[in-house]
Homo-oligomer: A and B are copies of this chain.
Amino acid sequence: MGLDEPLFGGIESGGTKFVCAIGDARSAALLEREQFATGDDPRAVLSAVVAWFKDAERRHGALAGLGVASFGPLDLDERSPSYGFITTTPKAGWRNTDFLGPLRHAFPGLPLGFDTDVNGAALGEGRWGAASGLEDFVYITVGTGIGGGAVVRGKPLHGLVHPEMGHIPIPLVDGDSFAGACRIHGRCWEGLCAGPAILARTGKPAEELAPDDPAWNIVIRSMAHALATITFVLSPRRIIVGGSVRKAGRLGEAEFFARLRRHHREVLNGYIASPALEVDAADPFIVPPSLGDDAGVCGAIALAKGATSEAQGLA
């Protein structure tokens, strides 16, 4: 990275940790990276984050912009008095937390990007990863929960609030009698397929399941229904599936994706005609993230870059 490149800061805030990083947004390479436990005291972690970026500015020079890709729900409406807040999260201590306020106070006038963790990860994969060159795609994470972000014509989808794709109702696949693990919706997608649902189904975390455990078949077929739903509703050009569950432990990531693609095609049943959905397509329609576990914080840097361009009237 050249000394004169503008530098951007990114904050990925998740349910268990905050990842902070600095980069020049010309590639996904990170100049520095640090993480903090999320905990239940927003003031404490936000102070630590601010202090880290202030230190980083002393080492590398002033930031040109800062981006936040956060767990939600978030208020993304710039006309709203609670813009920049985490709103109705059940996470202890974080309900109605002003996230951007302390950053604005610490870095007056600095352009600030703000979006969901999954919209951020989608942007990062679009700029440097598995959706490079595409304008319309979806990023899903399946881990402790399930979330989905979407990019439509090159920009993150917000609408009324922002997508909450993990909570869609999906049909039970044949042979599934699980009661569902979502506290709010029972048998929604998250309630059937996220990490805690797999643990509740089998008594084991996904990474310890035997490759022939029947739960894999149920979970992957359920996920195929959800991804088909997203295909029918949003018509994306690609779906990126990140998070821990897709690593699929002893089953293996390659086998997980092969089965997921096959079942997704079975659910569509030929109804959507596109070369992108053919089994021998040059680029698969359903793929893992290219940026791996950096997708989120890289996305936060992409949000910073976008906010800076917008402030300069370039976007």
Contacts and interface: CB of A to CB of B under 8 A. Distances in A.
A196 interface: no
B168 A235 contact: no
Interface string A203-230: 0000000000000000000000100111
A269 B182 CA distance: 12
A298 B281 CA distance: 38
A67 B185 CA distance: 43
Interface stretch (A20-28, A38-46, A156-164): A156-164
B276 A160 contact: yes
A125 interface: no
Given A271-B184, A271-B185, A159 B232 contact: no
A73 B235 CA distance: 12
A3 interface: no
Given A148-B233, A171-B170, A73 B160 contact: no
Nearest to A237: B160
A47 interface: no
A273 interface: yes
A168 B233 contact: yes
A160 B225 CA distance: 18
A159 B235 contact: yes
Nearest to A135: B159
A157 B231 CA distance: 12
B271 A167 contact: yes
A127 interface: no
Contacts of A270: 184
Given A170-B169, A228-B169, A271 B164 contact: yes
A49 B214 CA distance: 57
Given A168-B229, A228-B169, A269-B185, A235 B152 contact: no
Contacts of A229: 168-169, 229, 233
Interface string A256-297: 000000000001011111101100000000000000000000
User: Which of A153, A166, A230, A233 counts the most B-chain CB atoms under 10 A from its CB?
Assistant: A233
A88 interface: yes
Contacts of A271: 164, 167, 184-185
Contact of A235 (B87, B157, B185): B157
A231 B164 CA distance: 8
A247 B122 CA distance: 40
18 contacts: A73-B273, A148-B233, A150-B233, A152-B157, A159-B234, A159-B236, A160-B231, A160-B235, A160-B276, A162-B235, A164-B232, A164-B271, A169-B171, A171-B187, A185-B271, A229-B229, A229-B233, A234-B234
In the A-B complex, the 9 residue pairs with the closest CB atoms? A159-B235, A136-B159, A88-B273, A168-B229, A233-B233, A160-B237, A168-B232, A169-B225, A164-B232
Interface of A: 73, 87-88, 136, 148, 150, 152-153, 155, 157-172, 184-185, 187, 225, 228-237, 267, 269-274, 276-277
